[in-house]
Amino acid sequence: MQKARRAAKSIKLVIFDVDGVLTDGGIILDGDGTEYKKFNVRDGHGIKLLMLSGIQVGIISGRYSKVVEKRAMELGITQVRQRCLDKAGPYAAMKKDLGLQDAEVAYVGDDIIDIPVLIRAGLPVVVADGDGEAKKHASLITRAKGGYGAARETAEFILKAKGLWHDLIGAYRKI
């Protein structure tokens, strides 16, 4: 845990997988092919808190979904890469676009498709209900499951490690 706290102090970008991290991994399709996903509001608020504190946020997803585009737009996330079965390339491109090094990036995943990024990121995070192989490469395993607060927990962990949490919460106490 100390290693994860030290790594979190350097984070300037947090990248989230979607299915199984920002959602519970379920995909609902109706008879017309319309896709539905359920996102956790507190996860979204955690993402907004990261951004408010100056930490950039990105998404790399193995699937493509218009729902993900819409959710990213609602949250103000501009670094979005979808339909990425090989996530290492988009990860490297995102880092390059933002002028960052591995040590400045946290990646939150849940499955073996995430391993190539987990082994590169300065702070590799896997959700509580993530795959066992993926967990072997994590410095931090959340207590919360994907889609049930894991993103918020990760955001709080990073913000607390960087000493930013108290001031962010203080702003709410003044309202």
What is the predicted pLDDT for the residue at 170?
81
Give the domain CATH number at 83.
3.40.50.1000
pLDDT at 66 over 80: yes
Average confidence (pLDDT) over 15-40: 93
Average confidence (pLDDT) over 94-108: 97
Name the average pLDDT for the chain.
Answer: 95
Tokens for 139, please give them.
């410095």
Give pLDDT tens digits for 114-156: 999 999 999 999 999 999 999 999 999 999 999 999 999 999 9
Name, in order, each residue with C-beta under 8 angstroms of 145's C-beta and a sequence gap of 6 or more.
24, 127, 128, 129
Ranges 24-33, 83-92, 98-107, 132-141: which has the least confidence: 24-33
Count of structural domains, the chain:
1
> Distance between terminal CA atoms of the chain?
34
Q: What domain range is 124 assigned to?
A: 2-173
CA atoms within 13 A on the CB side of 29: 4
